[in-house]
Structures are given as C-alpha cells and as structure tokens.
Chains A and B, each alone.
Chain A
Amino acid sequence: MIYLEKRPQPSRSLSLLTPVYAVIITMIAGGLLFAALGKNPVEAIRTIFWDPLFGQYAFYYRPQLLVKGGPLVLIAIGLSLGFRAGIWNIGAEGQYIFGAICGAGVALALYPMDAFFIFPLMILAGALGGWAWAMIPAVLKVKFGTNEILVSLMLVYVADQLLAKMSLGLMKNPEGFGFPGSRNLQEYPSAHNAELIAGTGMHWGVVFAFIAVIFAYVLLNKHILGFNIRLTGEAPRAASFSGVKPSRLILFCLGMSGALAGLAGMFEVSGPSGQVNIDFAAGYGFTAIIVAFLGRLHPVGILLAGLLMALTYIGGDIAESQLGLPSAAIQVFQGMLLFFLLALDLLTNFRVRFKSGAAA
C-alpha cells in the first residue's frame, strides 16, 4: 500500500521543482482536454507555449508578455509579503481599481495642462489610492479583529461599483457623446504612460515591477522586517516572543500590497488601457494570487510565474483564434496549473512510501 510520511524538513529541491512538474503535468492534462475537444493536442500546446515566444510573429508577442505580465508581477510581489506572514489580502483587484481611479483622477483634473510633474503626481496618487483602499481591511483587523479576507474581498465589489459610477458620471469624457468612459489618457501626452522604447512593451509599470522584485528580494533576505515577516508566517509564537508586533506587520503588509496594486492599476489605466471604463478591471488582482503561489511567494519565482501566466493568456488567445478552442477550455487549462501546483505541494512536505503486505 501507499502512504505518506511527513518529512522532518520540507524538501528544498522539490519546492523548486514542483512548479516545473506542475507545468509539465498541466501540459499533459491540458493536452488530453484539448484532444477530447477534437483538437490536435500537440499543436494546441505548441500554439500556447511556443508560438508567442518563437513563432513567426514573436516580435509582436514577446513585448506583449511584458505588458500582460507587468501588472501581474507588481501585484503578486505585494501579495506575497502578506501571504508569507499569514496576512491574506484577497482584494488586490479592488486596490488595483481604486489606484487607477485616483491616478487617472489626477490626470483628468489637470487636463489639458502640459507639465512634467503630472505623471509623477499620478504615480503618487495611484500608490496612495491602493494603499488607502487596503488600509480599510488593515485598520479594521487591527482595531476590531475583523477577517481581512472577507473585508478585502468585499471591497472589490465596492470598488467595482465606484468604477462604474466614475465612468458614467464624474470622469465621463465630456466629448464622448454621452457614452461611458473617461478621456483616453493615451491622447494626453503629460499623463500617458507610453512605451519607453517603442515596440518593446517596456512602460513605467514594467520598470516598477522589476524594481519591486529586487526590493522584495532584499527586504526578505537582508532586512529585519523581512525576517519578521517570514518568522511570523513560519512560527507565529516565536515571532511574538521575539517582540514582533502583529498589528504593525498587518498595517505594513496590507498597505504595501495595496500600494503596489494601486500602482499597477494606475500604470495600466494611463498606458495600455488608457481609459477609466466600466469594464476596466480585467481580473489582474485575482490572477496575481495564482501568480504569487505559482512563484512560491519568492520574488524571482513570481517574476517567472508572472511571465508564464502572461504566456498562457497570450498563447491561449492565439489558440482560440487559430484552432477554435473555446475560451472556457483555456480557463480550465489555467486553473489546472494552480490545481496541480497545490496538489504537488504535498510532496514538499510529505514523502510517498510504498509498503508491501497488509499493515494494520
């Protein structure tokens, strides 16, 4: 019979390898799914993973990886800090939306002024907006012990309504013939988060994502605060004996993840997306949770996971168009990735043992 034995120490090599295994198993299971839908599985997998990187039009898709992956990485880095300390910010989507509203709000309020300080001001407003939205669950948790999972999640729906309200009311484009949606910030040079080098996909949001990766790496490995975050997650009692104040950690982790999510939203609304609109939020805040776990809550892992996730989106759309795969199949495929990763996590903490004979 087969049974599981707890490892004395989580396996380090497996903790690095399980994401790779998860990707491989997802490819196999996904291939079976595509075959069941009557598509050539090899062609489908190749279209999703190979074509965007090395296919005929890779010159267009590679930069798109940065555009799609940038916000995912930026948000996931923030989330990973809290997740490591056992502080669960599920509402990054709301903070992303609110950051975008605040950032765009600055630009729209100053339109059509032409000044160098507008964009930095928007960055500040975006970060502050996300931070403020995350402070609601943080303060409620610290003061009244509410559950941050519920509060942060519920605030996503509040932010969603606020976004609709802004698109239809205050921020509506006065030259838009009564249609919803703000002015397009891509047409407002002082506020436009343009590509830094044309055709590379590199915009300020991507730059900030890379900075966040480095910053998080240093914080977690070289700084006492990072040590306290890790300690609280791994041994909460030890942390409290060593004088870590949980409330300060909660405020820091939620605030930080909120600020980064807000930044992501602000860079998105002023760049690739361009407009405050009812359907502006495309689920980055939720997808980033997958990215954070897929990257093992490690900054470098998150960077790779964000790019991988972006690849499945871009490749998935190509597969839909070229092979006629339904979008639901692509979503199942992406879901499998997280599912197999979590399932394989078992192997990091447990050893599979085989034993012959009927043990009692």
Chain B
Amino acid sequence: MKFTKLLATAAVAMGLATTAMADKTKVGFVYVGPVGDGGWTYEHDQGRKAVVEAFGDDVETVYVESVPEGPDAERVMTQMALDGADLIFTTSFGYMDQTINVAKKFPDVKFEHATGYKTAPNVSVYSARFYEGRAVQGHIAGKMTKSNIIGYIASFPIPEVIRGINSAYIHAKKVNPDVEFKIVWAYTWFDPAKEADAAKALIEQGADVILQHTDSTAPQAAAQAAGNVVTFGQASDMSEYAPFPRVSSIIDNWGPYYVARTKAVMDGTWESVSTWDGIGAGMVGIGEISDAVPADVKAEAEALRDALADGTYHAFTGPLNKADGSAWLAEGETADDGTLAGMNFYVEGINAEIPN
C-alpha cells in the first residue's frame, strides 16, 4: 500500500516537473546489448539517433545498454519512468513481462515492446517482417551457388528464425531446384568465435553461400578467408565486407517507426497498436546488391524486393507443403500472420530436424 502511495506521489511530482518543461518529450530506450555490437542494438540506437535528428531540441533521449532480461530490466524501465520519460522502447523479446509489469504502475507513460505479443492500453508491440528480406537473399543465394549447398547459421529454434530459413529456402529452390540447405544451430545471437566455427564447418561441408541469423561479422571474415564463399550482412549492412564476400544484406531499420511513434506521443495521438512491417514500410531494408552479383540476377532480386514491398507478392505463397509432406498452402494461397508468427515447422525439401 505504502509503495503505491509513494509511487502516486512521485507520479504527481513528476507530473508537475513535466508541466514545467512540457516542451520536451523524453524518450527512453532499453538495450539488450552494447550500442557498438554492430548488429541488433546498434540498429536500435540508429533509430534513437533518427528521433534526435527529427525533433532536435523538442526531444530528449536516454538509453541504458546491456540490460539483462529480468529484474534489472524492470528496474531500468521504472527508473526511466520515474525520471519523467513519456515513451519507452524496450528492444528485446525477453523484456516482455517486465514491460507489462512496469506499464501497469505508470499508466501515463507509453511503452513500445519489440518482437513481443503482449499488449496493454499503454503498451504497443512492433516487429519487422525480416522473412521478406530472406526471400530476396534466398533468390540471390540460389543463383550464386555452384556447389548447390547453402549453409545457414541459425541462432535459436524459435519462429522468427525458422520463418527466415523457410523463406530463404523457398526462394532459393524456386530458382535452383537442386539446392540443398545445411543448417547449424549456434545457440547464440552474438558470439564471434562460435559463429566463425559454424561458418568454417559449413564451408568444409561444401557450402559456397553462407546465410546467417547471428549478428557478428565473424562468418563474413571466415568466408573472406576461404575465398569463393558468398555472404549476406545481417541486422546491419556489414558493408566493410562488400563487394565480396558480402553481396547484399538485410538491414533492421527502426528509425521511421521510432520517429512516427514519438510524433504520436507529442501530438497526443498515441494508441496501443501491434505493428508488423516489412520492406514496404521501410522497416526491413535490403542493402546494396554488389557488382559481384550478375546484372540479371540483381535485376530479378530487385524486382522481387519491389513486389514484396508493394504487396503484389507474398513471400509464403502456395503451393507449399510442410516438411512432413502434409499440405500447407494451396496454389496461390498465402500464409496468414498467425501461422507465420508461431511457425514451428520446415517447408518440404529442407532435409533437417528442428531441434527441441
């Protein structure tokens, strides 16, 4: 009881403080990694910088890096709210329950949780359709491979990652019926040593294209050392390895969303929403396709990208069967978001088991 009262008092004090400097909107960011990780957190911080750029002195941003997913995250969010944040972005799946807990205590503060599924009147969720980018990657990979073996460094067997593998496979197979996927589970999002080992193992097994769902550049370096192996940047452009081995990339682009949501708070039009945007809305970016890719393949890949962007093509369009042979999508049918969000099966042709 006492705590609630104290919090209420604090909220009143905060309210007074906010009125005193009402012209500035305060936006907090909670990061799971360091801003210099070159991948996931780096791109969220680029989004924060876009907010600063867009609103200048009308906005104040604060952030805390490397916050463990647990009570620490809850404390950091509470601290930001106590310090008068109007809007808080919590940028890791593992912050889900903590975000909901803190949001309950601060009904006037808006929260935005990345990649989760729990919403509340003051909690929105947002995520990106990275699988659209995987479709473009798969197309290029299928065209570029000579050994017909594509290596895939996967992180954890969760729907997000399985969706990416399926999307890449479907589009590689479409342009190259002989293609085969070899998948290594690294059980990490970021571990340069493990990722390098995984890349080397795949190259030894004959893969001459490596796709990665982990965030470090170690696989790029391993491919460069091996010589004739194609890679793609993950999360950020990784252009330091362009034009070869890195021939393109999937870039997380949170800036436009962060700017729009901050604007909504400023205008008082913020509402709780569930956002799942792809290439079309600019949340998923396809990095420059380098000259190492033949011009015709590049043109096809760009056409695919544009079709995904304007919605004329869906990355999961039937006919598609599941790996166990059962029918999934009929001719021309597209996957619904519910199935995609919880995807726990491979499509037909991927000769592997999902670990559990």
Interface residues of A (CB under 8 A from B): 56-57, 59-61, 64, 67-68, 161, 164, 168-169, 177-181, 184, 186, 198-199, 268, 272-275, 277-280, 282-283, 313-314, 317-318, 320-322, 324, 326-328
Contacts and interface: CB of A to CB of B under 8 A. Distances in A.
A282 B74 CA distance: 14
Interface in B1-32: 1-4, 6-7, 10, 13, 28, 32
A64 B75 CA distance: 8
A168 B157 contact: yes
Nearest to B78: A60
A208 B78 CA distance: 26
B307 interface: no
B59 interface: no
A60 B82 contact: yes
A186 B97 contact: yes
B64 A320 contact: yes
A164 B154 CA distance: 14
A170 B238 CA distance: 36
A272 B355 CA distance: 30
12 contacts: A60-B6, A60-B7, A67-B75, A68-B71, A68-B72, A164-B187, A168-B355, A177-B342, A272-B74, A279-B94, A317-B72, A321-B80
Given A184-B97, A272-B70, A280-B70, A198 B1 contact: yes
Contacts of A268: 70-71
Contacts, number: 116
Contacts of A322: 62, 83
Given A180-B158, A279-B70, A327-B66, 15 more contacts: A164-B156, A168-B356, A179-B93, A180-B93, A180-B156, A181-B94, A198-B3, A268-B70, A273-B70, A279-B68, A321-B64, A321-B76, A324-B63, A326-B34, A326-B35
A93 to B, nearest CB: 13
B159 interface: yes
Contacts of A180: 93, 156, 158
B69 interface: yes
Contacts of A179: 93, 117, 158-159
Contacts of A61: 79
Contacts of B74: 272
Query: How many B residues are at the interface, by size bracket?
Result: 35 or more
B67 interface: yes
A273 B34 contact: no
A168 B71 contact: no
Contacts of A273: 70-71
B343 interface: yes
A232 B4 CA distance: 51
Given A277-B94, A279-B94, A324 B75 contact: no
Nearest to B65: A327
Contact of B97 (A199, A274, A326): A274
A56 B79 CA distance: 11
Nearest to B17: A56
Which 6 residue pairs spanning A and B have beta carbons closest together? A199-B3, A272-B71, A282-B68, A327-B65, A273-B70, A178-B342
A169 B157 CA distance: 10
Contacts of B344: 178
B297 interface: no
A57 B34 contact: no
Nearest to B343: A178
Contacts of B281: none
Contacts of B355: 168
B330 interface: no
A58 B345 CA distance: 49
A168 B158 contact: yes
B341 interface: yes
A180 B64 CA distance: 24
Given A279-B94, A321-B62, A177 B159 contact: yes
A283 B94 CA distance: 16
Contact of A317 (B35, B64, B159): B64
A328 B117 CA distance: 31
A328 B70 contact: no
B79 A57 contact: yes
Interface string B148-161: 00000000111100
Contacts of A60: 6-7, 10, 78-79, 82
Given A57-B10, A278-B156, A328-B34, A177 B117 contact: yes
A168 B34 CA distance: 25
Contacts of B10: 56-57, 59-60
Nearest to A275: B97
A199 B2 CA distance: 7
Contacts of B156: 164, 168, 180, 278
Contacts of B343: 178
A221 to B, nearest CB: 33
Contacts of A280: 69-70
A276 to B, nearest CB: 11
Contacts of A186: 97
A274 to B, nearest CB: 6
